[in-house]
């Protein structure tokens, strides 16, 4: 009953051995993986992967930097695909201000996406790198309730605000060494935590490809920080998963 709510199984890193990666995850006790698209092409691949493997669901995303050059019409074509095909959530979507690129356009796109998701009535998975405050503000002014902030790097004041809003965090594998995520886990109720790998990224062994089976290490670390039994930790995280997605 381990869950990996954020992975990118469509990445070329998995093109040779995805069968084995999924088998390894199953062997480790992973019951659910959400593979996230980041643009129209990736969403199509995510859908194929979800059809092929029982434990995988697709989340269709439009990564803020990937959609900057799309016309209004192209963006609505992406929405159309999301509407017509089976997905468990919409994401990752959001803002990325690392390169400070076209922030105004990013916000406009994010607002259009939110409006679309409000009508679709699916959970949303949000990417908010270096734009955590902006993302929280925009989401607070929306009608959305089922919100997951993935790999959230905002300060602890914002972490508290997300928790008070009743949204979920997905804690990445690098919580094994990341002081930021360890603090986030310590300060946040277990009822607001989910686990992710962001595979192939964010391995706890720096530089190595990450895989969904490594979510086991995330749960172990969370249970250590929370001073909770590992089995109990896993059960609560699974029930958080059900509440948000099922």
Binding site for Zn ion (CB under 5 A): 198
Instruction: Indicate the residue whose CB is closest to Zn ion.
Output: 198
d(CA 232, CA 101): 43
d(CA 57, CA 49): 8
The DSSP result for 66-114, as a single string, is: TTTT--HHHHHHHHHHHHHS--SEEEEEE---TT--SHHHHHHHHHHHH
Distance in Å, CB of 53 to Zn ion, minimum: 18
- Phi, psi (rounded to 5 degrees) for 143: -90, 0
Distance in Å, CB of 36 to Zn ion, minimum: 6
d(CA 148, CA 226): 21
Q: Which is nearer to Zn ion, 8 or 223 (CB)?
A: 8
Q: Which is nearer to Zn ion, 132 or 198 (CB)?
A: 198
Q: How far is CA 140 from CA 114, 123, 144, 166, in A?
A: 11, 14, 8, 11
Distance in Å, CB of 235 to Zn ion, minimum: 26
d(CA 34, CA 48): 13
Q: Which is nearer to Zn ion, 149 or 236 (CB)?
A: 149
Q: Which is nearer to Zn ion, 198 or 211 (CB)?
A: 198
d(CA 240, CA 170): 11
Q: Which is nearer to Zn ion, 193 or 236 (CB)?
A: 193
Q: Which is nearer to Zn ion, 153 or 228 (CB)?
A: 153
Distance in Å, CB of 115 to Zn ion, minimum: 23
Distance in Å, CB of 8 to Zn ion, minimum: 6
Listed residue (245, 199, 237) closest to 221, CA to CA: 237
Distance in Å, CB of 190 to Zn ion, minimum: 23
Q: Which is nearer to Zn ion, 94 or 241 (CB)?
A: 94
Distance in Å, CB of 223 to Zn ion, minimum: 24
- Length of the chain equals 246
Q: DSSP code of 174? A: G
Is the Cβ–Cβ distance between 161 and 132 less than 8 Å? no
């Amino acid at each position: 009953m381990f869950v990996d709510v954020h992975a990118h199984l469509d990445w070329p890193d998995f093109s040779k051995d995805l069968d084995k990666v999924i088998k390894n995850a199953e062997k480790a006790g992973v019951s659910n993986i959400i593979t996230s698209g980041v643009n129209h092409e990736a969403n199509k691949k995510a859908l194929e992967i979800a059809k092929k493997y029982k434990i995988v669901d697709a989340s269709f995303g439009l990564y803020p930097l990937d959609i900057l050059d799309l016309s209004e019409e192209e963006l609505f074509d992406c929405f159309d695909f999301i509407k017509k095909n089976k997905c468990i959530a919409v994401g990752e979507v959001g803002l990325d201000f690392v390169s400070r690129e076209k922030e105004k356009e990013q916000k406009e796109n994010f607002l259009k996406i939110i409006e679309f998701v409000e009508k679709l009535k699916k959970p949303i998975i949000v990417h908010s790198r270096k734009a955590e405050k902006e993302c929280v503000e925009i989401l607070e002014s929306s009608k959305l309730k089922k919100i997951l902030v993935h790999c959230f790097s905002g300060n602890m004041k914002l972490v508290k605000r997300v928790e008070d809003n009743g949204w979920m965090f997905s804690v990445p594998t690098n919580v094994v060494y990341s002081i930021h995520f360890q603090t986030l886990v310590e300060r946040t109720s277990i009822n607001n935590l989910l686990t992710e790998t962001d595979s192939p990224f964010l391995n706890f062994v720096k530089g190595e490809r990450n895989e969904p089976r490594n979510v086991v290490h995330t749960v172990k670390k969370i249970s250590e920080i929370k001073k909770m039994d590992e089995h109990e930790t896993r059960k609560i995280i699974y029930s958080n998963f059900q509440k948000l997605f099922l």
